[in-house]
A and B are shown apart, each in its own frame.
Chain A
Amino acid sequence: MDYFLHLVVLGTIYSILAVSLNISVGYTGLLTLAHAAFYGVGAYAVGILTVEYNVNFFFALLLAMPAAGVVAAMVSPILRLKGHFFILGTVAVQLMLTQVLFNWISLTKGPFGIPGVPSPVIFGLKLNTPPTFLLLSVPVMIIVVLLAARLVNSPFGRVLKTIRANPSVAESIGINVDLYRLRVFVITAMMAGVAGGLYASYTRYVHPSAFDVVFSTFILIMVILGGTGRWMGSVLGVVGLITIQESVRFIPALPANMVGPVQIMAYSGVLFAVMMLRPQGLIGAYKLE
């Protein structure tokens, strides 16, 4: 049961990531492979602030958002690119930020990582087990999902859909496409930053390898699997992917050294099948370009 609740905690954190990435991929048409980088910035912000500067966790979590947002704004020139070039640009951002985490040792401790991130405390209750941590991660997830749902159903969200459908038309009716893209990029990075902060305080250890391009791909698969352009789809994608991953662990007679490769084959196989048969994902709103 504890293990199952642990998966639920991871599920809430991944849901924040997937729902926020869906705003970029599904609603705006920005297919990015750099989401794990912003997630990492959030995790490191919380890790460094709480461990090195003894900042209160909740305050640190609030600061993780602008930290991720500022980094996203710094790399925003890649938004000028389109199509394959944009994907490659985001891969570039992801790989470079990973290198920074590994090599800026005075700030991030590089390959040593930051151990001992404190557990959050609410009203004297230390949230250091999966059931108690859910008291924090579920409300945060609900807030983020609610915000995302509001956002995409607001006039802002409708502008995004116009941009996705046809940027030139959007431009011609006076929408500043670049500005909207920038906003989406920064807002979704901030959401990823929140997820990162939760992750840091849940695992209580941050290390650059948790925020690499493979994890970025993993988040993207959750979004694509569930379906683009529906925030519910992202949550389903998270549930689906975790189920796939964990089912592999429980296949009887599968040697332990096959679990990792079979997990990779399982989720990449599912993504492949989805792309070939139903490119919009399980309940997606539109087909990918």
Chain B
Amino acid sequence: MPVAGLTITLAADEALASNAITEMSSQHEIVLGRVDGRYMAAVMDTPSPSRSRDLHGWIESLAGVDYLDVVYVGFDPDPPDAPAPQPPISSTLPSP
């Protein structure tokens, strides 16, 4: 469902950064892009918001990643497995 464009700030330690790149490249939901200095472009394409969140957390937890920023999110108009949002307040409003 979500498609996210990421910029990943790699650790100053080149060995750690290299390990992080290797680990990320093993995930089929992540496509790695250009690296300029310590910044790497990547795209995360996942089947659900929860998987997207888990993967996001996993990238952030890698020793070779200093920081993760999201710069783009594409919305699928008909997500196959997204739960319908629940209104937080069950109000006295009439049904549409």
The reply to whether chain A is a binding partner of chain B is: no
Residues of A within 8 A of B (CB): none
